[in-house]
Structure 1
């Protein structure tokens, strides 16, 4: 059984990892010339092929209007192509363009190079084990958070009060920073 102390250590380690990734993400985006959300969308198209706008929105956990704006920008940059679904002309299908594929491969090579450099003294077996554990951890955390949120939001009448007790920091930003 996982002790409270070990769980607290894990929360701390995950916080440190999260800060490390976030602190360099803006600089990385500038270096590769693409936003992380754009790379995520391009990777999804690379892995799963042509998709509907609605499916991409669901996968990114955003609304169709948000993903449509993102796709429009990527389309203007020549990274994706849009066409009407032959079975339903009202539906747009999005696919990775040749330029998008080449750009994604270039960015991926850079990302892989960073990881290889950072983990140069780890062997493949050790690295695979860590990758498997991180993947399992991510899946379990998502599942558990959804379970807890579902339970609290559907059964806890004080949930709205509890949420309201925490200020919304997304609108509390200093416009000069």
Structure 2
């Protein structure tokens, strides 16, 4: 690794830590009582309509048992409903309730407001460059590894 790349990565890591110390807590609980992980589950349900516990676990790279505990808390607040599959009773589908849709909408707005507040420090050109770099990195991360 070149010294310039190494130095740039160190600067990036320090800047990222500094930013996340401030923004992280604001994003991790966008509305009281809804954790970042619960937000992500509701977001996934909004995107897909309904999912099994296994599908949610895969999307979050965690074990199904971890998702089950999160689903229990979401269910307790009436944000999700569990439905048994009619053909295979062992399969349980999770879907969002109207209450879940409402809390997700509130959380998305809060996250949008928070990010808008902080990203307003960038010019439109800087923001476009920043987003383009992140999109390029996202593609590189998901590209097949060369051997």
Distance 1:30 1:57, change over 3 A: closer
Q: 2:4 maps to which residue?
A: 5
Unaligned runs of 5+ in 1: 152-177
Matches within 5 A, 1:82-93: 82-93=82-93
- Return closer, same or farther for 1:115/1:17 CA change in 2, 3 Å cut-off: same
Matching of residue 51 in structure 1 with residue 51 in structure 2: yes
Distance, in Å, in 2 between the alignment partners of 1:135 and 1:78 is: 35
TM-score (ref. length: structure 2)? 0.80
Residue 36 of structure 1 and its aligned partner are, at CA, apart by 1.0
Aligned residues: 146
2:98 is matched with which residue? Answer: 98
Structure 1 CA distance, aligned partners of 2:63 and 2:27? 26
Higher relative contact order, structure no. (Cα contacts within 8 Å, ≥ 6 residues apart): 2
Q: Matched residue of 1:83: which SS?
A: strand
Note the aligned Cα RMSD (angstroms): 2.8
* Compared CA separation, residues 18 and 101, structure 1 to 2 (3 A): farther
**Residues 67, 9 of structure 1: alpha-carbon distance in 2 compared, 3 angstrom cutoff:** same
Structure 2 unaligned blocks of 5 or more: none
Query: Residues 8 and 139 of structure 1: is their aligned pair in 2 closer, same or farther, counting only changes over 3 Å?
Result: farther
User: Alpha-carbon deviations, 1:92-123, whole Å to 9, x = none?
Assistant: 00011111111111111111112222222545
